[in-house]
Chain A
Amino acid sequence: MTKKETTLKDWINVTVILQILICLAVAIPIAVPIGLPVPITEYTRNVYNIVESIEPGSVVLFTNEVSAGGWGEMASPTTAVMQHLFKRPVKIVFVEFFEDSPILTEMALDKIDKGDKVYGVDYVHLGFVPGYGTAVAMFAKSVWTAFPVDYHGTPLEELPLMADIEDASDFEIQIEAQTVPAVGPVDMLQHIHSPYEVPFVVIATAVAAPGHMAYVESGDISGITIGVKGGAEYEILIKRLGAGAATMDAMSISHLLLIIVLIVGNIIYFTKRRGP
């Protein structure tokens, strides 16, 4: 039996037309920005205020558990919060407990304006340690045991910032960007926030955020900013527009298209069901 070749005519159907419409709804606003307003939510403003109120000179722990697949959504909020931290007179320690994340942290660090901050003195990238929750517990108990060297292979003894860091209690606050279920806020709350009383802020995806809200309500998570919209809002707050703001037009138009398609689809479904 000969295999039937797919022709363009076979290929065109309602699904494909919808796919083309979505492509246009996303691509056109990116090429020709409309500048739709982005209202700032209380959640994002709260995170901004928390970062703004960090004591000068204190050390911030920034943990990144974003997967390469999730970076599309998380790049803008993560980069925006990192940029805000670099504007403030604080020291930052970057750590990853997920395999993909060290490269993503480096990509974000390459993009942001570091001002007069010096590597090793004002900020350090320790890199990745395997073990997920177990690694978080080890890191919290002894930073030097978890990381004998930093991401670039430099021994911690040669990094002045690390001289005063022994365990998790030496951090003023922890900020975490997270997409992967393997390691996330629950591990951080159990091994860092609860035993060492380190305030905890989360940069979450839109999918994961409802799950984190229980911890926001209980006060364990001090602040949360959500997905690419949170990123766009944060970019506006720090007055440095980037990928988040560029995405919002496309997001709004494509969501509008989806809502219209949902309504039309439901009308057709119910009309057909009532028919003879």
Chain B
Amino acid sequence: MVDLAQISGIWFGAALNIFIWSLVFKENRFYRFAEYTFIALSAAHFSVLGVKSILTIGWIPLSTGKISYIIPFIFGFLLYTRFSEYWRWLSHWPIAILVGVGIGLGIRGAIDIQIIKQIRATMKLAVFANPMEAFNNILFVIMLISVVSYFIFTFAQEGTLGKGYNYLYRLGRLALMAGFGIALGNTVAVRLALFTSRWIFLIKDFLGIG
């Protein structure tokens, strides 16, 4: 049986897809229709999700007798006092709590995961592994040192030491450029993957080819 909802969804999706791509030619009404539809749908989706989350996580437990859940509601309400000049100072309390909790949670585990384990992983890189792996590891350590040295701005590059440092500095710049090149290449690959997925939708789902 033909699913009318599914077919209309595919047609609508394909139309919006083509409307958006029409921007390549020039700005037009079809493109703007698709753009505004996207914004409206996103706003509606996030509004519903926000209200649903407040109900699920806050209101339902509160209404079932968990009185302590009134506290986040009060702090949430206090955020709106920013709109009154007289009561604005009250909004500092929920913001202070948000920042405090955020920083506390940010620090939690960060020292272990982002500092200690990272240093340990760098130091235990096997140099006497197979030749290719050893080359990679040595290159990694050299690049690490050169990139870090690139960001040292505290002394002038003068004399023999300064000249030596200058080579390291240049190597660091090359390593950074290589890193940025890889990032750009990956970005292009991702954009192509997204573009390809839309073509798959148009060719396979909409036109039924392939």
Contact = CB atoms under 8 A, between A and B. Distances in A.
Interface stretch (B46-54, B79-87, B151-159, B161-169): B46-54
Given A190-B108, A194-B113, A243-B200, A6 B190 contact: no
Contacts of B113: 186, 189-190, 193-194, 215, 218, 220
B37 interface: no
A168 B71 CA distance: 26
B92 interface: no
Given A72-B195, A73-B193, A194-B112, 12 more contacts: A133-B102, A137-B108, A190-B106, A194-B109, A206-B189, A218-B117, A219-B121, A228-B196, A228-B197, A250-B200, A251-B189, A251-B192
A214 interface: yes
A121 interface: no
B117 A206 contact: no
B73 interface: no
A212 B90 CA distance: 41
A30 B210 contact: yes
Nearest to B113: A189
Contacts of A193: 113
24 contacts: A11-B26, A26-B195, A26-B199, A30-B196, A72-B195, A72-B198, A73-B197, A75-B197, A148-B60, A186-B113, A190-B113, A191-B108, A193-B113, A194-B113, A206-B189, A207-B189, A210-B182, A217-B121, A220-B117, A228-B197, A250-B196, A251-B192, A254-B192, A258-B188
A126 to B, nearest CB: 11
A31 B209 contact: yes
Interface in B97-134: 101-102, 105-106, 108-110, 112-114, 117-118, 120-121, 125
A148 to B, nearest CB: 6
B177 interface: no
Task: Specify which of A99, A129, A206 lies most central, judged by the most chain B CB atoms within 10 Å of its CB.
Answer: A206
Contacts, number: 143
B95 interface: no
Contacts of A186: 113-114
B204 interface: yes
A251 B125 CA distance: 34
A19 B189 contact: no
Task: Specify which of B105, B110, B204 lies most central, judged by the most chain A CB atoms within 10 Å of its CB.
Answer: B105
A218 B117 CA distance: 6
A197 B185 CA distance: 35
Contacts of B204: 30, 246
A129 B210 CA distance: 39
B199 A30 contact: yes
A218 B121 contact: yes
Contact of B53 (A71, A128, A207, A258): A128
B200 A247 contact: yes
A240 interface: no
Interface in A15-35: 16, 19, 22-23, 26-27, 30-33
Contacts of A195: 108-109
Contact of A99 (B45, B108, B117, B120): B45
Interface in A143-187: 146-149, 186
B171 to A, nearest CB: 19
B112 A255 contact: no
A206 B190 contact: yes
Contacts of A71: 197
A35 B126 CA distance: 39
Contacts of A130: 49-50, 53, 57
Nearest to A73: B193
A58 interface: no
A6 B46 CA distance: 38
A218 B118 contact: yes
A109 interface: no
A186 B182 CA distance: 21
Nearest to A217: B121
A274 B118 CA distance: 46
Given A30-B203, A32-B210, A134-B101, A129 B195 contact: no
Contact of A205 (B118, B125, B190): B190
Contacts of A223: none
